[in-house]
């Protein structure tokens, strides 16, 4: 189950039925991240699209001098129902392959650009139920027969 507020998203951490393991949710603010990552270009826009000039350095056979050092956030091409339904952003890594969490500490990113939220043991099931009651269902996020089947199984508590 997933939850979106503006650009912030509770990703796939609460999908699992395992309630004995703690989980962490990473919330990326793609606008703040991109503005900090591209401050050397005086970038003041938001989430990139695949056609933005800034991303030309990531194309096959392009000069890596055009590639950014740190990851960038971009909208995915709307070529599947899932991408459209999830309205998420993707990240594309540049020359540095350091984890984004580490880059947050070593580069001038605002702390709100990437936030880690820890879910305590057993909280996933409760959070998933709350999100379901607000309309964030499996079939909404996974608009396919698989998503619908998972949702029906949850509602009627079928065993695997």
* Average pLDDT of the segment spanning 114-143: 80
- Of 8-12, 26-30, 56-60, 149-153, the poorest mean pLDDT is in 8-12
Reply yes or no on whether the pLDDT at 50 is more than 70.
yes
Domain boundaries, the chain: 23-118, 122-160
Reply yes or no on whether the pLDDT at 91 is more than 80.
yes
Q: Look at residue 12 in the predicted model and tell me its pLDDT.
A: 47
* Average pLDDT of the segment spanning 21-42: 88
Reply yes or no on whether the pLDDT at 29 is more than 90.
yes
Question: Which SS3 state, helix, strand or coil, does residue 158 take?
Answer: coil
Contacts of 91 (CB under 8 A, 6+ apart): 28, 71, 72, 73, 74, 100
* Average pLDDT of the segment spanning 36-60: 90
**Residue 82 banded pLDDT, cuts 50, 70, 90:** low
pTM more than 0.85: no
Q: Look at residue 77 in the predicted model and tell me its pLDDT.
A: 76
Contacts of 155 (CB under 8 A, 6+ apart): none
- The proportion of the chain whose per-residue pLDDT surpasses 90, expressed as a percent, equals 26
* Average pLDDT of the segment spanning 128-143: 78
| 15-25 tens-digit pLDDT | 555 555 667 78
- The proportion of the chain whose per-residue pLDDT surpasses 70, expressed as a percent, equals 79
Q: Look at residue 72 in the predicted model and tell me its pLDDT.
A: 94
């Amino acid at each position: 189950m997933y939850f979106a507020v503006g650009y912030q998203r509770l990703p796939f951490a609460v999908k699992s039925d395992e309630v004995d393991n703690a989980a962490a949710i990473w919330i990326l603010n793609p606008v703040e991240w991109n503005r900090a990552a591209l401050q050397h270009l005086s970038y003041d826009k938001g989430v990139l699209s695949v056609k933005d000039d800034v991303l030309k350095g990531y194309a096959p056979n392009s000069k890596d001098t055009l590639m950014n050092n740190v990851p960038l956030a971009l909208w995915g091409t709307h070529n599947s129902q899932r991408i459209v339904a999830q309205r998420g952003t993707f990240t594309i890594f540049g020359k540095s392959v350091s984890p984004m969490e580490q880059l947050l500490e070593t580069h001038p990113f605002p702390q709100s650009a990437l936030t880690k939220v820890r879910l305590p043991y057993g909280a996933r099931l409760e959070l998933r139920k709350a999100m379901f009651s607000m309309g964030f269902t499996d079939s909404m996020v996974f608009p396919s027969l698989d998503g619908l089947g998972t949702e029906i199984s949850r509602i009627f508590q079928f065993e695997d």
